[in-house]
Amino acid sequence: MNTVMKRGPFLLVILLAAAATAIAAGVALFHDGLSARAVPSRLESLLANRTRHLSIPTDARRTVNPITATPQNLREGRLHFADHCSICHANDGGGLTMFGLGLYPKPPDLRRPETRQLSDGELFWIIENGVRFTGMPAFSGHGGAEEDSWRLVHFIRHLPQLTPEELAEMERYNPKGVEDRLEEQEEDDFLNGSAKPSNSQQPAKKNPNMP
């Protein structure tokens, strides 16, 4: 009985600390009314990064990239990124796109040390399995080969050295809407000399009742 009474204040402190931690976590998670426009708090970012690190198996973190970083593999990774990833991450990896800015949490700047310090195995695991409670989807099992994900790892390493020529090539592989495709088709028709005149340029039809 005396032992229980002596431990009472200690247990109370632990319970209060746990309650304070739960409240702080709740405030960090539900701030701004769950709006996706909000910016994660420092505590939330710290907890999320730590949880992500712990969720990746040790063997996966230590996995070595089996694909060599040849110019051809880098190009294939770059164009794959432009077609599959740029809509959220942007061609340069900065994440400043309409969809990227509308996500919570926002996509990380892939050029920053926080991302580049991840091992090849960690980057591959994230690409293949996604990150729960974020906009990062899992790409494994969707018809793509693992080699594509390993090439993406090489391209992510290359992002800080991306050249204007590489960016220009990536733009041609970005997903396009209907209006963009129609505009490109009109430009191609014009350059090929097969463009049709617009309604304002078409000659008026002669009225058969007029002389």
Model confidence pLDDT, tens digit, residues 169-184: 999 999 987 777 677 7
pLDDT, tens digit, 9 for 90 and up, residues 148-165 = 999 999 999 999 999 999
Both tokens of 132, joined, read 């729960």
CB atoms within 10 A of CB 14: 11
Higher per-residue confidence, 156 vs 50: 156
Look up tokens 């009314």; give the residue: 33
Amino acid making up residue 72: Q
Per-residue pLDDT at 91: 98
d(CA 145, CA 128): 10
Higher per-residue confidence, 98 vs 15: 98
Q: Report CA 168 to chain centroid distance, whole Å.
A: 20
DSSP state of 118: S
**Mean pLDDT, to the nearest integer, of 17-27?**
56
Q: Report CA 31 to chain centroid distance, whole Å.
A: 23
Both tokens of 183, joined, read 């505009």
pLDDT at 202 over 60: no
pLDDT confidence tier of residue 63, bands split at 50, 70 and 90: very high
Per-residue pLDDT at 211: 46
CB 34, CB 44: distance < 8 Å: no
Higher per-residue confidence, 40 vs 110: 110
